[in-house]
Amino acid sequence: MPKPTTTRRLTTEAGAPIADNQNSATAGLGGPLLLQDQHLLEKLARFNRERIPERVVHARGSGAYGYFEVTDDITGFTRADFLSAVGRRTDLFIRFSTVADNLGGPDAARDPRGFAVKFYTEEGNYDLVGNNTPVFFIKDPLKFPDFIHSQKRDPFTGKQEPDNVWDFWAHSPEATHQITWLMGDRGIPASYRHMNGYGSHTYQWTNAAGEAFFVKYHFKTNQGIRCLDADQGADLSGKDPNSHQTDLLQSIERGVYPSWTLYVQVMPSAEAAGYRFNPFDLTKVWPHTDYPLQRVGRLVLDRNPDNVFAEVEQSAFSPNNFVPGIGPSPDKMLQGRLFAYADAHRYRLGVNHSQLPVNAPKATVAHNYGRDGLMASNAYDRHAKNYEPNSYGGPAQSDLPLSAPLALTGHTGTHAAPAHTKDDDFFQAGELYRLMSEGEKNRLVANIAGGLAQVARDDVVEKNLAHFHAADPEYGKRVEAKVHELRED
């Protein structure tokens, strides 16, 4: 027997040494394989089970580790411990992603980008799950499955269909603002490093005195905004479908650490009810003239994952992972995500997904009475009880709510969002259009018309054109002219 060239022996999953990893056991020289070859069977069986269900949305992603450092005193707005002192650092993990395509899709697609941050705080993990746009296509989670179905592969043709995409948008005028973002110059970021991130939703902060504020998060890239036009995106997608992954990996490996500055907009809770539009509407932004950006700190990424599957694909973010001083708002889309995200991870990864290293708390220890289930660890106190209350000194409730209570009134039922004096599905889309340069407007119109001109039904085209006309008359006229031009060719 040749002597091994390494002190680390190859073993089975049970730890037994493997004598031969090059040849299967057979019934004699050249004979059939043997069922008793445990190593072969274990190896093939495990290979068959290497893949887990991919995320329904945000399947294609990249991640990195880093830290968040507080640079400004914001203790007047929140009692969150990890934000309590200038200079304080908190470890974190971030996952960037595209939304609509499958795991093998190109990074340089025209698509919103996920921007999900897991802060490993001393009071538990805080997950801030947002996008690279401050708004979204819809404002009620009841519409989310239908929206995603319209954007994903058609069940008959097996590919994304412009008819489906634009038909849904034709019946969802509130999408006009996000469509203007998506079809504009920021619709294809040049890399994950060169885009902003937003919490998008409205959240609640509570300070030590119990005062409540509503906030919106803005992560401004310190690398500067860089984007690709449609032709550049298509070219890069063909040359390097992993372009954003490559860029993030290589920049961190060579010590060029990407960073973002976090700002928040802060609205005293008493101002929400009388604000001119619904401040909890995910299809709208708060004008900075009303609520200026206030700096909080700096996010830096300085370490790549060692294993993409274990740490990026198995990372699980949920908006309901709050810490004391931070909580939800009445934002209906956020409320729906409080359930949907955690439930998606229970399906994909199992009920014990929070015990995986990338998801487990790092600055504290989880103490609860959850037990058993697939892949349960044995990391429990010896002889600990699995019920509460008990007489054995098990973990007990804190009696300190994470955030201030939200006021409720009225009757249960399916209600439209409450009307504010300036609620409108089109005004902010028009404002965004009017902020654009002539070149930006030309590219926006070309991107919209390029998809809309492919729609078969004239009534669907007309409904969408009406939305752009309502946002801004010039906007509508230019899109309409370009669509007619393309349809006549």
As a whole number of angstroms, the distance between CA 447 and CA 165 comes to: 14
Angle, alpha carbons 460-462-463 (nearest 5°): 65
Residue 98 phi/psi, 5° resolution? -85, 170
Is-catalytic flag, 131?
yes
Tell me the two tokens of residue 59.
């399947």
What is the identity of the amino acid at 355? Q
Q: Answer for the pair 223, 273: CB distance below 8 angstroms, yes or no.
A: no
Query: Which of 39, 58, 218, 345 is labelled catalytic?
Result: 58
Distance, C-alpha 208 to centroid of its chain: 30
As a whole number of angstroms, the distance between CA 209 and CA 298 comes to: 26
Residue 191 phi/psi, 5° resolution? -165, 170
As a whole number of angstroms, the distance between CA 128 and CA 92 comes to: 11
Q: Answer for the pair 71, 100: CB distance below 8 angstroms, yes or no.
A: no
Is-catalytic flag, 442?
no
As a whole number of angstroms, the distance between CA 62 and CA 81 comes to: 28
As a whole number of angstroms, the distance between CA 189 and CA 200 comes to: 17
What is the identity of the amino acid at 169? W
Q: Answer for the pair 204, 405: CB distance below 8 angstroms, yes or no.
A: no
Provide the phi-psi class of 159: left if phi over 0, else alpha when psi is between -120 and 50, else beta. beta
As a whole number of angstroms, the distance between CA 122 and CA 33 comes to: 54
Residue 319 DSSP class: T
Query: Which of 21, 23, 48, 131 is labelled catalytic?
Result: 131
Residue 119 phi/psi, 5° resolution? -90, 125
As a whole number of angstroms, the distance between CA 113 and CA 227 comes to: 13
Using H for helix, E for strand and C for coil, what is the string for 390-446?
A: CCCCCCCCCCCCCCCCCCCCCCCCCCCCCCCCCCCCCHHHHHHHHHCCHHHHHHHHH
Q: Answer for the pair 158, 302: CB distance below 8 angstroms, yes or no.
A: no
As a whole number of angstroms, the distance between CA 412 and CA 135 comes to: 27
Active site residues: 58, 131
